[in-house]
Amino acid sequence: MQVGLSNLLCLLFSAVLPRTIFGLMSVSRGPPGPPIILVPGDGGSQVEAKLHKQTVVHYLCEKNTDDFFNIWLNIELLVPLVIDCWIDNMRLEYDNVTRTTSSPEGVEIRIPGFGNSTTVEWLDPSRASPGAYFKDIANTLVEMGYERNLSIRGAPYDFRRAPNENGQYFRDLKTLVEETYLLNDKQPVVLLAHSMGGPMSLHFLHGQTQRWKDKYIRSLITLSGAWGGSVKALKVFVVGDNLGSYVLRESTLKTEQITSPSLAWLMPSSLFWHGNEVLVQTDQKNYTVNDFEQFFNDIGYSVGWEMRKDVQKYSFEFTAPGVEVHCLHGYGVNTVESLVYKPGKFPDGYPEFTYGDGDGTVNKRSLEGCLQWKNAQKRRVFHQTFPAVDHMSILRDARTLSYIKNLIPKL
């Protein structure tokens, strides 16, 4: 159907005049609630690399690049043979003297897009579907009247590292909260965090005064918060994780994965697991939360214990955050509870797994850690669970989106 010239002019003026002549009479609707900062979890930030290497691990690997390129999430790099290049560029090297990690010589790493929501909505800049992350949540907010990079912000960080090496990030996050507050008519900010972003946000809030939190933070919304760690972290240390790909070997990816201090941070916490609960069973010894040093020695990775010593204090920082909390997570999904090795198969063989309740990645007891705050702070703690929703699908599940959509106008 064609639109006549007069109708077209009417449409044009109706769109333009409220912003000009009638600007004082008509004000844009704006978001229906407070501004939101998205805090990603492990693997939830884009990563860029620039190379100037002397040697490479494979003839297919590049030695030098003119500029930074996307290394995570880049599906083209996560294929057999080429994955060796990716591993060598993404891995971290631990310094036992400085107690810090660094990239291999000739590799520069940066986390792009701080403050920008799109870099946490899509982990793959090409926006290939496997790289969708906070996309559905951001789209829901935009439909409600939110605006990207104004009332929806993103706070990506180097997820390979734990709080002890992310000090600058926490300082930048504080500045981002204050800036977002000012850009949105001095409305307190909502932190919306996923997975490891939950404990990262908790550590950030512990570092602020109550007066600051009362002024700048409206609430903390968490999805699949890994409050007490996960037994899956132990599984990664011994066999690795294939990221859901059938063409990648767990043992290959393990080479990079175990170099991340954040993995040591996400090991089961003794605040959530008792010392008599067997996490790794072998014919020679059973390992509990009290045996991590011996566990690392026996799998031949003593660096793991050094990293665990650096980060374990953050596992015990579990006092209430001092802000309103909305704690959302799934349950009823098989989640690794322990690793069981047949005689003579530890540590080089492949274990069998026993399963319990959780979201497929984080155990139920860890997901429910937020309940400990209900009687520990004046601010309210809300707890909402979703049956059969796993660790990642919670980001796009209709029930999650509905909860957020209904909550926002009430904040």
| Cβ–Cβ under 8 Å, residues 161 and 260 | yes
Cα–chain center distance at 147: 22
Q: What secondary structure does DSSP assign to 148-176, as a single string?
A: BTTTEEE----TTS-GGG-HHHHHHHHHH
Tokens standing for 394? 């919670």
Q: What are phi and psi of 15, to 5 degrees?
A: -80, -35
Element holding 352 (H helix, E strand): strand 352-356
| Cβ–Cβ under 8 Å, residues 101 and 165 | yes
| Cβ–Cβ under 8 Å, residues 119 and 154 | yes
Rounded distance, CA 377 to CA 394, Å?
A: 27
Rounded distance, CA 132 to CA 39, Å?
A: 15
- Active-site position among 117, 195, 224, 270: 195
- Active-site position among 194, 326, 329, 391: 391
Rounded distance, CA 337 to CA 357, Å?
A: 8
Cβ burial of 3 (10 Å; 0-12, 13-18, 19+) is: exposed
- Active-site position among 88, 359, 390, 397: 359
Active site residue 359: yes
Active site residue 195: yes
- Which positions are annotated as active-site residues? 195, 359, 391
